[in-house]
Each structure stands twice: as C-alpha cells, then as structure tokens.
Chains A and B, each alone.
Chain A
Amino acid sequence: MIRFPWSNRTCRILAATVGLMAVSAAGAYIAGVAPLASSRLERARRDIARGNSDSAIKLYLAHLNAEPSDQAARLELGQLLKPTDASASLAILQEIPAEVAEYPQAIWHIAHIATAGKRDILAEDALLKLNELRPNDAGVSLSLAELYYRTERFTEALLFAKRATRLQSSRAQSWLLLAEVLDHLNRPGEMLQPLQEAVKLDADLYAAHANLAYANYVSGQLDEAKTEASWCLQRHPNDIVVRRWLAMILRDGGEHDAAFQQVNLALEKSPGDVECCIIAADLLLFRRDAQQAYDSLKPLYPMHADRRDFLGSLARAAAMSGRREESRRYQQEIIQLIKQGPVPN
C-alpha cells in the first residue's frame, strides 16, 4: 500500500469539496438557468443605471438570444432603444405577442414611436389596438383624434375627439381640437359649446377665443363674435385671420364702413390676402362700385383661378361692370371646379 504524504483527514476534506462542487454544477445544469444569463440581465440593468446604454443593449440582446421568451426583457430593451434608435426599438417591441402581460405597454410604445415619427398607418394600427385594450384611456382617444385630424379624416376624428373630451373634460386643448374637427366637418353651429368649455378651463387660450369669434359669427351671434374678435386683436393686432372675421362680423351687422376699415387694415399687413380682397370687393359691389371691385380683383386671377369664391366675386364684378362675356367665362370655370371637386358629406 502506497501512503501519500498528506494526512488522511486532509484527503477526506478535499474529496468532500470536489464532490460538492460536482453536485452543484450538475444541479445548476439540471435547473436550466445558466448563472451567466441572469447575471447578464442584472448587468444590463446596472449598466442602464450607470448610463451605459450601449453595453446594456448588448447584454439585453445576448440575454434575449439565450432566453427568447423573456418578454419583460424584450420590453425593457425596446424602451431602452426608443430614444436613440426608434426603428430598432419598433422591431423589438413588435416581437412581443398579444397574449403576454407586456403587450399593452409594448403597443403603447409602438404608438408613441409611430406618432412621433408620423408613421400614420402604424400609429393608427397601434392606437386602435390600444383603444381596444383601454377604451377609457383619454390619451389614446386624444391621440387617435389628433392623428385623424392631421390626416384629414375628420369623421373619424370626431368620434375620438368627443370621447377624449368626455374622458378628460379638464383638458382645454381637447375641447379646442373637437371644435376644429367640427369646423372641418362644416358643422360650425356645434363649435360653440366645446369652445366655451375650452375657455372656461383656460381663459387665456387664444385659439379658443379666435375660434369663438368665428363660431359666434356663423351662428349669427354677432355681438358675441365682435367681443371675441376684439379680445384677440387687443392681444395680437396683426392677426389677419381674426381681423378678417371682424370685418365679416361688422359687414353682417350693417357696419359696412367699419368693415371696410378692418379689411383695409388687414390688407396693409397682408396685401395678398385673397379672402380680404374678396370681402372688400363684395362691399364695393354692394355699393355698386363695380369698376373698383373689378380692378381690385382682376390682377389676382392668375394666382386664384382655382378658388370658387374668388371666381364668383370676379364674375360678379365683371358682370356689373359690363363685361358679360368675361363674367360668363368665370362662371363656367366655377362649374368646372364644381365638377372636379370632392363629393360633399
């Protein structure tokens, strides 16, 4: 028998330690959790905390390569990529399936990225999905309203704008958006109420006051319209649009001289404003000063021959100043424009 130089006790301890290590490794292997993987995720999170995004991204990617079903990690990576690489972020987030708990948040981020990047089709898809998940989310409704407004789908915008104001009635901008959608749908009479709500919430919301001037005007409430227009012009005397509306308000109220004054003030600031030119010309025609009306409009014809209101005014001025054939041509151009125009609601 060969005897080692260590003592029997030392040999026994060494043997026990090696045995334990072997058992641990086997156990870990059997459990399927590589110690390396979890530590990668932790390291990634630590790197994020330290501001080391690049390293974190690599660790997340490695982790997901090893653990592809970790949707929480996938969501975290998507969020991490969002500020710097929206496309990559989108790609990651779009991998998260609908049946997992992380899905709503993923959709939210997708919607956010797509909206910010004006990728309307993707944004609409994401927002509609989010709307199904969170039908009472005012932010979702508002985002959809804004998207549809921006893409000129006003009928769809209306549904969501109304919902947004219902879900979050304390947001003045939502009421303002609703009013603008109604305006585009040619429903000016319904603008008053949302605009009044907007002003109640934010008494200095200029856009709401300006639109109130217009909405009151089309509703025939001229005194209220004048008050709102004056409020706006006190703050922004160079607002041509509001000054033009004030001219129309005064005209409709029978104050034709004052209307002229306002439209001339507007034209001083913006000589090419065709709508002001039309108002001025129509006032001249009302006074039967057809030649001056014609002289003021004719030079603008090359620029505005595609506008029915301009052609209408020019046609009238031409007819009243004895240019019947010329007037007939303009009227026929209007008919052509009508034929080409969109089908109304």
Chain B
Amino acid sequence: MHSNSLIVLFGLLCSATTVAAGNPLFEDATKQSGIQFRHVSPLTPERHLHLVMGSGIGWLDFDRDGWPDLYLAQGAPFEKADREQFAVREESSDRLLRNMGQGQFDDISDMSGLADLDYSMGITVGDFDNDGFQDIYVSNYGANRLHRNNGDGTFDELAASLNLDDSGFGSSCTWADLDADGNLDLFVCNYLLLDASDYKLCTFLHEGKPHGITCHPRYLPATRDIVFHNEGGGLFSDMTQSSGLMQSPATQGLGVVATDLDADGDIDVYVANDSVPNDLWMNMGRGRFTNEGLLSGTALNREGRREAGMGVAVGDVDGDGRPDLLVTNYYGETNTLYRNEGDSFFLDITDEFGLAGPSRLQLGFGISLADFDNDGWLDLFVANGHVHDRQKMLDRDEPFAQRPQLFRNQTGQRFNDVSRSGGPYFQRAVVGRSSAVADYDRDGRLDLAIGQLNSEFVLLHNVSQQVEMKSLRIELVGVRCNRDAIGAVVEVSVQKRRLTRFRTAATGYLSCDDASLTIGMGKTTTPAEVVVRWPGGKNETFRSLQADQRHVLIEGNGTSE
C-alpha cells in the first residue's frame, strides 16, 4: 500500500515536472551582463504625473555586427536644483549599451555622443535615411530627439534642425512608411498638456491634511498625436492635418503600433489611449487616415467601456494569419485582447482567451508578444505596477509594486498564466513599466529587457527547456521599400502550419523590439518556406531556410508572387 502510494506520488511529480518543462523560464542575467542602469524618477511630494510614467527600452544593432544593442531611456528629477545635480552624474542621460557578445554589454554612451537629459519616454528605432544604419527617435517630456547614426559608432542629434523636436509630452512613437514612398515617416503619440511652468496638480485629504496625488488623465487636456512625413533627403514635414488626424479630437495617447491591420498593403496605426476610446487609424492610401476605432470594435471593450490604455502589442495570437491587438489597461480593468476578424473588425475575446481574471487586479504597462518557448505560438509578458503609491491612505487595497506576468499560448486557444514557473523574477513585486524583446545572446530563444520605475533595469535570459524546438532568425533588408523593412509581414510555412510575424518599430509601452525576427518553429527537421510581404505590397518567397540559422532576406532576392 505504501509503495503504491509512492508510485502514484512519483508519477504525479513527473507529470508536473513535464508540464513545467514546457513552460517558458527566465533567469536574471543583469549582473552578468555588466549593465548597471538605474532609472531615475523620484516622486515629488506633489506627485507630478510624468514622474510615474517610466521610460522605454529599444533594441537596435547600431554597429551592424549582428548582436543586438540596447538603448535605455532615462528619466530625470523634477525640481530644478535636483535636475542640476543629477545632470552632472554619469547615469543622468539615456544610455547606449553595446552588445559585446557572450552576454556582455559595454556602456558606450559618452563616446557615441548620445546625450538626452530630459525625461525620456518613448523609443523607436529605424533607418530613416536608408543609409544602412539604424537611427533612434526619442520622445520626451520636453523636446523630442532624433539621434542619427553616423555609422562610425557616433550619433548626431538632429531633431531641432529637422523640425522633429516637438516639445509636448511625447509618449510612444513609431517609424512607419505611411505613404509607401520608401521612406520612414514618424508617428508620435502625445499624452497630455502639462507645462512645467503651469503643472496641474491634484490632492486628496487624509486625516484632515492634503496630500499630493497624480491627477486623473481624463480630466487633463490631451495633446494631439503628430505625423511627420519623411520627404527624403533628410527633410521632414508635419502632415498631421493632411493625414486626417484632425478629424478626431486630441486624445491621451500612450501606446502605438503600426502595421498592415487590414491586409490591404498599407500601414495602419493603432493608438492605445488613457481613459478615452482608443484610435484605429486606417490607412486609406498614401498616408491618409480615417479613425475606425469605434466601428472596428477596438475603441472600447466588450462592455462598451473606455479603458485606461497604456501599452499595445500586435501579433497573430490565434494563428489565423491576421494581426491581433493586445492592450494593457488600468487596475480594475482587464488587459484587452482584440482578435482580428478580417474586414477591419476586431472582437474583444479577453474573457474567452483566459486573460480577464489574471489581469483585472493588475495595472499593466509593458507588454510583449513573443514566442518564448519556440513552439510557434506567441506567448505573452506583461510588466505591471501602479501609478499611485498612496492608495493605502485612500483606504484602497491596490499595491504600488505588482508582480510581472508570463502567459503561455495554448495552441491559439487561450493564454495560461505560467508566471509561477517563469523564474524568480516573476515571484516578486516591482513597479514595472517597459519591456522589449531580443535574442541578445543569439541562442535561438527570445530574451526580455525590462524597465522599472525609478529602479534598476533588468535583463532576463531565456533558459526555457527547448526539447527539440527550433527557431529561425530572419533579418529583412528593404531595397525599394524602407531599408529596415519596417511594415513587412513574414509568413513562415513549416509542417502544415503558417506562422505570421510583423516587423514593427514600436511595441508594448514606449519600447522597440529587436529588428531581427526570431520565429519559433516547433519541432521540425524540414526547412521552411518564407513569404515576405514587403511594405508597398510586393510579395516574395524565400525557400529552404534551415532552422536555427540566421537568414538575411533582401528585397528582390526572393521569388516574386
């Protein structure tokens, strides 16, 4: 009887281990990487709003050595005296970290000429001048910056000279070729009108005394998102009016993705707004947009409610080839999954897909859709953390620090919360903000870079047990389209499955993933066939791509369809 019990117990343990073995697993590799970055955003007694928003992360290969480097946006104190003291410190600016290989990074910010002492927010990486070197646009609470990559390890800051230095409260931003002319345009979300000299502050009473609290964004004036048209030759013009954005009122934009959402060959833009309906800007051709948020079903949630959108990710979650949208929202709201039904319509399937319960009592910011276990299905990472640290004084049980979450995609049917087996990082509460994905050590598994408010940067190394899972690394090079091929759609056919991935220049919250696409293929021994839909509409097929290898796909080198 006793030995039978032991056998049963052993069997149970084995099955539990087997299940856990399939789940993604991460270890904290920050220390080993040599990255020592602490985000600076000390909360003021008045609780100035921008100080709780955090800053973004961008992966890029600035030196084209095949290893993804990191750009980390830095915050700044609010008070002038504190800022002046802060400015002379080493960690005061945004940082550029060069990937040396072997999981090591070197801070080369000073020698690169990159300097940004404002409170940096969003990052988008793209080769705007098509010279083969990735450039960086950074939105700020303050004037935005454009760091043009000179190709020699240095950057020049050109925003003012190119009239891209909008000084509103910029949030997420993205490069995208909106008019299909082969040049990367720029879509910049602006959040609120919060002038430093006339900063709106809010208070609440606790035990008879007033205390500062971050104001509710719905009741602050919004500022309009901006579209900059790349004229070529290093010139930009403000095409916000001609693009059609003025047809809708200004909104509190925080997250943005740009990709071909309706498969008509041009780039559409979805903006997650804070506390007001989201915007879905459908491209009618040549960079002219109409706002189809309401009609598309993506402005509100299934209950007809506005949500406080923070970040947004795009990816084919259910494997039907169409890009779905996933928005992180406020505490008490779910993160919302909009399944692309085709014909420019999306269905809120948050509950049916298992995301409602796990997200309702979290405040989500950063969001990354990525195949962490290489089974061909997009998994999900969410960085959580509140914006209010004084909820206890309001007698509310809403923690400031919250646990990040990891979800595994169950063959396109639902997301299962596997945070408990995700590794030590997922077992502690932090004030999470941004996240971005790259295979930084080129081991075929996607890793995570995570930004935390006023706290240390974290690099998570993916150590998921592969168990014969393969991946494909694809780097796209545009020739007629923009050099970075931002806006391209990649379809990988392997073993009767079609895996669709989208090349974007912004994702999640304020952040940008690595340009090269690491595509999990599951267990396969056969080479893959890849169809690339280049921006501008041309399709090409590339055949016999071996798994676990890097493939550079150049426009024009494939077989046209």
Q: B297 is contacted by which of A221, A254, A315 (Cβ under 8 Å)?
A: A315
CB-CB contacts below 8 Å: B355-393 with A: 356-361
Q: B361 is contacted by which of A219, A251, A252 (Cβ under 8 Å)?
A: A219
- B357, A308: Cβ atoms closer than 8 Å: no
CB distance from A26 to the nearest CB of B (A): 62
- B357, A335: Cβ atoms closer than 8 Å: no
Contacts of A217 in B (CB 8 A): 357
| CB closest chain-B residue, reference A216 | B357
- B354, A253: Cβ atoms closer than 8 Å: yes
A221 to B360, CA, bound (A): 11
- A320, B341: Cβ atoms closer than 8 Å: yes
A47 to B410, CA, bound (A): 81
A230 at the interface (CB under 8 A from B): no
B418 at the interface (CB under 8 A from A): no
Q: B306 is contacted by which of A219, A288, A309, A338 (Cβ under 8 Å)?
A: A338
A133 at the interface (CB under 8 A from B): no
A332 at the interface (CB under 8 A from B): yes
A188 to B397, CA, bound (A): 10
A338 to B486, CA, bound (A): 37
CB distance from B324 to the nearest CB of A (A): 13
A159 to B395, CA, bound (A): 9
| CB closest chain-B residue, reference A248 | B351
CB-CB contacts below 8 Å: A144-161 with B: 158-159
CB distance from B468 to the nearest CB of A (A): 27
CB-CB contacts below 8 Å: A244-299 with B: 248, 251-254, 256, 282-283, 285-286, 288
Q: A285-B347, A327-B295, A328-B294 are in contact. Are A334 and B397 (CB under 8 A)?
A: no
CB-CB contacts below 8 Å: B302-334 with A: 302-306, 332
- B360, A218: Cβ atoms closer than 8 Å: yes
- B397, A335: Cβ atoms closer than 8 Å: no
CB-CB contacts below 8 Å: A300-318 with B: 308-309, 311-313, 315-316
Chain A contributes a number of interface residues (CB within 8 A of B) equal to 43
| CB closest chain-A residue, reference B360 | A218
B300 at the interface (CB under 8 A from A): yes
B345 at the interface (CB under 8 A from A): yes
Q: A309 is contacted by which of B304, B359, B396 (Cβ under 8 Å)?
A: B304
- A335, B302: Cβ atoms closer than 8 Å: no
Chain B contributes a number of interface residues (CB within 8 A of A) equal to 35
Contacts of B299 in A (CB 8 A): 331
CB distance from B413 to the nearest CB of A (A): 7
Contacts of B413 in A (CB 8 A): 254
Main secondary structure of the interface of B (DSSP, over half): loop
- A312, B351: Cβ atoms closer than 8 Å: no
B443 at the interface (CB under 8 A from A): no
Q: A220-B357, A282-B302, A285-B347 are in contact. Are A158 and B294 (CB under 8 A)?
A: no
A220 to B304, CA, bound (A): 21
| CB closest chain-B residue, reference A256 | B352
A319 at the interface (CB under 8 A from B): yes
Q: B305 is contacted by which of A158, A159, A308 (Cβ under 8 Å)?
A: A308
Q: A221 is contacted by which of B306, B348, B349, B357 (Cβ under 8 Å)?
A: B357
Residue of A219, A248, A252 contacting most chain B CB atoms (<10 Å) = A252
- B357, A332: Cβ atoms closer than 8 Å: no
Contacts of B332 in A (CB 8 A): 186-189
Residue of A248, A311, A338 contacting most chain B CB atoms (<10 Å) = A338
CB distance from B65 to the nearest CB of A (A): 44
A81 to B75, CA, bound (A): 71
Contacts of B345 in A (CB 8 A): 319-320
CB distance from A344 to the nearest CB of B (A): 9
B414 at the interface (CB under 8 A from A): yes
A190 at the interface (CB under 8 A from B): yes
A200 at the interface (CB under 8 A from B): no
- A320, B354: Cβ atoms closer than 8 Å: no
Binary A-proximity of B406-441 (CB < 8 A = 1, otherwise 0): 000010011001000000000000000000000000
- B354, A158: Cβ atoms closer than 8 Å: no
- B304, A337: Cβ atoms closer than 8 Å: yes
A222 at the interface (CB under 8 A from B): yes
- A320, B347: Cβ atoms closer than 8 Å: yes
Contacts of B349 in A (CB 8 A): 286
- A252, B302: Cβ atoms closer than 8 Å: no
A331 to B417, CA, bound (A): 32
A251 to B300, CA, bound (A): 21
CB distance from A82 to the nearest CB of B (A): 37
- B304, A251: Cβ atoms closer than 8 Å: no
Residue of B347, B348, B349, B360 contacting most chain A CB atoms (<10 Å) = B347
CB distance from A117 to the nearest CB of B (A): 32
Contacts of B361 in A (CB 8 A): 189, 218-220
CB distance from A345 to the nearest CB of B (A): 10
Q: A219 is contacted by which of B297, B347, B360, B414 (Cβ under 8 Å)?
A: B360
Main secondary structure of the interface of A (DSSP, over half): helix
- A252, B356: Cβ atoms closer than 8 Å: yes
| CB closest chain-B residue, reference A285 | B347
A316 to B396, CA, bound (A): 35
Q: A190 is contacted by which of B277, B295, B300, B397 (Cβ under 8 Å)?
A: B397
Q: A283 is contacted by which of B341, B352, B414 (Cβ under 8 Å)?
A: B352
Contacts of B306 in A (CB 8 A): 338
Contacts of B347 in A (CB 8 A): 285-286, 316, 320
A58 at the interface (CB under 8 A from B): no
A5 to B169, CA, bound (A): 125
- B397, A252: Cβ atoms closer than 8 Å: no
Contacts of B395 in A (CB 8 A): 158-159, 162
- B360, A316: Cβ atoms closer than 8 Å: no
A324 at the interface (CB under 8 A from B): yes
| CB closest chain-B residue, reference A288 | B341
A253 to B352, CA, bound (A): 8
Contacts of B397 in A (CB 8 A): 187, 189-190
Q: A189-B397, A218-B360, A319-B295 are in contact. Are A252 and B354 (CB under 8 A)?
A: yes
- A286, B352: Cβ atoms closer than 8 Å: yes
CB distance from A110 to the nearest CB of B (A): 29
- B304, A311: Cβ atoms closer than 8 Å: yes
| CB closest chain-A residue, reference B297 | A316
Binary A-proximity of B124-148 (CB < 8 A = 1, otherwise 0): 0000000000000000000000000
| CB closest chain-A residue, reference B410 | A254
CB distance from A166 to the nearest CB of B (A): 13
- A312, B352: Cβ atoms closer than 8 Å: no
- B297, A313: Cβ atoms closer than 8 Å: no
Q: A320-B341, A327-B295 are in contact. Are A312 and B303 (CB under 8 A)?
A: yes
A220 to B355, CA, bound (A): 9
- B351, A251: Cβ atoms closer than 8 Å: yes
A222 to B357, CA, bound (A): 8
CB-CB contacts below 8 Å: B7-51 with A: none
A218 to B305, CA, bound (A): 17
| CB closest chain-A residue, reference B359 | A220
| CB closest chain-B residue, reference A334 | B304
CB distance from A109 to the nearest CB of B (A): 32
- B354, A309: Cβ atoms closer than 8 Å: no
CB distance from A259 to the nearest CB of B (A): 9
Contacts of B341 in A (CB 8 A): 288, 320
A322 to B252, CA, bound (A): 31
Binary A-proximity of B332-354 (CB < 8 A = 1, otherwise 0): 10000000010001011101101
Contacts of A309 in B (CB 8 A): 302-304
Residue of A188, A331, A335 contacting most chain B CB atoms (<10 Å) = A331
Besides A186-B332, A312-B302, A320-B345, 10 other A-B contacts (C-beta < 8 A) = A189-B332, A219-B357, A219-B361, A282-B302, A282-B352, A285-B347, A309-B302, A316-B302, A316-B347, A334-B300
Closest 8 CB pairs of A and B: A220-B357, A308-B304, A312-B304, A331-B294, A189-B361, A309-B303, A334-B304, A286-B352
Which B residues have a C-beta under 8 Å from some C-beta of A? Answer: 277, 294-295, 297, 299-306, 332, 341, 345, 347-349, 351-352, 354, 356-361, 395-398, 410, 413-414, 417
- Pairs across A and B, CB under 8 Å, 16 listed: A186-B332, A187-B332, A189-B360, A189-B398, A190-B397, A220-B359, A221-B357, A252-B354, A253-B354, A254-B410, A282-B302, A312-B301, A312-B304, A328-B294, A328-B295, A331-B294
